[in-house]
Each structure stands twice: as C-alpha cells, then as structure tokens.
Amino acid sequence: MKFWLGASFSDTDQFTELARAAERCGFDTLTLSDHLFYADFASPYPYSRSGRPRWDARTHWPDVWVTIGAMAAVTSTLRFAPNVYIAPARDLFTVAKQVSTAAVLSRERVTFGVGVGWCKEEFTATGQDFHTRGKRLDAMLPALRGLWSGETVTLDGLPPLSISPTPSGPIPVYVGGDSEAALRRAARLGDGWIGNRIYTEEQLDEVLDTLRGHLEANGRSIEEFEVIAPLAVLPEAETYRHFAAKGVTGTLAAPWWLATPEEKSRYGEGTLELKLATMERFAEEVIAKMPV
C-alpha cells in the first residue's frame, strides 16, 4: 500500500517543508489540487451536499507545476501528482510543456493525475469549451504521451513537431473521477485511477467492480493497474492491508485531519507544526507497520 499525502488547502509557504517531511516519513507521493481562481461559482460543486465549495477566497491554490518544481528541488525520492489537473481547461501544448518540464526537473518523479473538472467558469475564463471537455481529454491524452516521448508527432492542422525537454521514460497517467465516463476513460487510457471522494468500503466495492469490468473490456486486469482510493477508515495498518487485498494500491492521507485535541491545542489549527507532528505520528503508527 502506497501512501499519498493529501496536501491540498495548505498555505503555499508550507509545501517545501511538507515535501521534506513526507519523504522522511515514507510517503510515496505528495499531491495537491488544481484551481485557477475563486468566485461566486454558479457551477454546483459536486462533492458537497450544499453544492458549495468547502473553501473560500482566502484558501491558497498555488500553481501545481511551479509548486512541484520547488518541492522536487528539496527532495530526492518523493513523487508528486496533481489530484487532479484539469487539463481540458488548457490548450494541449501548455499542458505538455509544463508536465514534461516538471518530470525532467524532478528526475522522473511526476505522475500526471488528470480529470475533466466541474467548474464551468474556469473553462470560460481560459477560452475552452466546457461541454466538450471529456471528448477533448480523450484526444489529449494520446497526444500528450506522444509529445512526452520526445519523438516527432503529427497533429491535425500542424506540421510534424516535437517538444523538448522530455523525460527519459513514460509519465504515468492516472485518471480521476468515479463517474461511468471517468472509469471508462481510466480503463482505456490510464495507467491508474484516483478516487475523487472519501469512500466507505461499500462505495469503493461498487467502483472497483465497475472499474474491473471496463478494464476487462479493454483486455486489461486490475492487477496491473494502480488504484489510489481515499478511504473512510481509521488509519490502522491492518485495515489498509484489507483494502490492499481488494486491489487498492494506494490511499490518500492528510494526518492532520485526525489530529488529537492535545495536538491541536499544542500546535494550533492548520499550522505547519501540527502537520509535521501528525505526519510523524502517522509514519510511526501506520506506514512503519506496512509490509515493504
């Protein structure tokens, strides 16, 4: 079981220290989310009952790739992934260049977590069509893989072209979302899947059954596929071993979400000190007890 540190909603000046601590504590990947701006969105947020986002205008949303570049510079083994990057809100070459550069500078430590997004206002602001975002992402992913290979590719309406720099190996692509369309996309075009909510066992079993079906329809097996699932369970090694047996290869954790009252009182809510202390405790109580 791989542990991903869910660092979204953290203040920007915390990320480099969180990356150092994540590497020291044995986390596999540090992940952060992607949003362009805050507004009084008309688009309903799909992951809350109210349809309102769980953050406000004061919440930091640093640029994913700039932040990954900074964190890569202070670590050597920790991987990085957006959870998830809304690629169809950008043009193909902006995405290709940013991700490829981050992969090179991090020495191949980038996973491309990608999704279609929910916020129409962000697409309007960047001049991209919100309603065709799924179709465009389906076309974008093979094109990105071709560009990241460093080889010359042919794209509609353009002369043969290539980009540089590119990494020496493939960049893993993990597709986010648990809609039927997202699971089909992950099975057809992805190297893995990232869950977009915190799942009970019953909820996850349903998703995994659907994902297995789509993988089999594409001649693939879940045993050769990465499944990153945030889990609504207490952080115990035995529980994680149970989910690993179901095919879950990784989970998302933000240990400060479960800080004790004593820890909150000692370090303060949302502080870097609280996050580092709870990460250390999680490493001792959970990560160290998992089989290598």
pLDDT, tens digit, 9 for 90 and up, residues 234-252: 889 999 999 999 999 999 9
Given this model, what pLDDT does residue 161 score?
A: 97
The pLDDT, as a whole number, for residue 54 is 85
Q: Name the residue type at position 188.
A: R
Q: Which domain holds residue 216?
A: 2-289
Q: How many helices and strands, by DSSP H and E, does the chain display?
A: 10, 8
CATH at 279: 3.20.20.30
How many independent structural domains does the chain possess? 1
The mean per-residue pLDDT over the stretch 189-218 comes to: 96
**pLDDT for res 291:** 77
pLDDT tens-digit readout, 33-77: 999 999 999 998 888 888 888 889 999 999 999 999 999 999 999
Four-residue CA torsion sign, 275, 17, 285, 3: positive
pLDDT digits (tens, 9 = 90+) for 271-291: 999 999 999 999 999 999 887
DSSP letter at 181?
H
Token look-up 């205008």 returns 57
Exposed/middle/buried for 209, CB within 10 Å: 0-12, 13-18, 19+? exposed
Beta strand pairing status for 173-176 and 250-253? unpaired
CA distance 271 to 14: 9
